[in-house]
Amino acid sequence: MGIRINGIVMDANELDSLARFWSELLDLPITRREEDWISLGPDLALQRVSEPKTVKNRVHVDLVADDFTAATARAAELGATPAGDIQENLWQVWQDPEGNEFCICRS
């Protein structure tokens, strides 16, 4: 019996807005769209939920950037905000426009 991860799904209140953020940040096309679901590329999806995010994520996405400075500038331009300082000169926690945490890491 094999078990594997099929993809990562994030909750979203404003589905189209958050899909646009992640699509542009990661340069991923929208590959599937339903009323309450948008898939980006083969491995990331967003699902509409009614409740807002209220606490820290228990799971988050780590992104590796070839150009850390450019990646963090792009994230900020798209509406993300840093959630802390750069750690160990290697990574920084960010929040997407709805507050979902993710890390941008140096390659």
How much is the pTM?
Answer: 0.93
| One domain, residues 100 and 78 | yes
Instruction: Give the model confidence (pLDDT) of 10-35 as tens digits.
Output: 999 999 999 999 999 999 999 999 99
Whether residue 1 is predicted with pLDDT greater than 90 in this model: the reply is no
Which CATH number does the domain housing residue 46 bear? Answer: 3.30.720
Bridge partners, 93 (sequence order) = 103
Contact status, residue 97 vs residue 12, Cβ threshold 8 Å: no
Assigned domain for 65 exists: yes
Beta strand pairing call for 101-106 and 61-65 = parallel
Task: With a cut of 90, say whether residue 43 has pLDDT above it.
Answer: yes
**């967003």: which residue's tokens?**
46
Residue 55 lies in a domain: no
What is the tally of structural domains in the chain?
2
| One domain for residues 70 and 27 | no
Length of the chain: 107
Paired residues of 8 in beta bridges? 44
Asked whether residue 41 falls in the same domain as residue 64, the answer is no
